[in-house]
Structure 1
């Protein structure tokens, strides 16, 4: 696993529990778009969890996050 993705995951894992919550992913996605473009990210985040939360526990582990970050290069960029 790439250290780059682990570092990005750690940056978004604001409570340091090793899992990304819906709120943490929403905050990460919101940081990718100008505020004017973001009204409601819940649909986007719900779709991301449906695809990448492979164990369906409502959280993203680092192993679930890496494919997401690989498919959304903006998410992996150091802001």
Structure 2
């Protein structure tokens, strides 16, 4: 696994527990969209979790995050 993706994951894992919660992913995605364009990110985040939360526990591990980061390279430059 790329250290780049691990560093991006760590930046968004604000509580340092090794998992990304819905709130942490919402904050990360919010950095990608101007507030004027997207007022409610819940649908976007729900779709991301539906696709990338492979074990369905409502949190993303670093292994689940890597495919997401590869498909959304903007995450690396957000925030």
Q: 1:18-29 maps to which residues of 2 (within 5 A)?
A: 18-29=18-29
Tell me how far apart the structure 1 counterparts of residues 40 and 51 of structure 2 sit (CA, whole Å): 19
Deviation per CA, 1:21-76: give whole Å up to 9, x if none.
00000000000111111210000000000000000000000000000000001012
Number of matched pairs = 79
Contact 1:6 1:62 in 2 (8 A): yes
Deviation for aligned residue 1:77: 2.4
Tell me how far apart the structure 2 counterparts of residues 39 and 78 of structure 1 sit (CA, whole Å): 17
* Structure 2: stretches of 5+ with no match in the other structure: none
| TM-score normalised by L of structure 1 | 0.95
| TM-score normalised by L of structure 2 | 0.95
* Structure 1: stretches of 5+ with no match in the other structure: none
CA separation of 1:78 and 1:45: change in aligned 2, threshold 3 A: closer
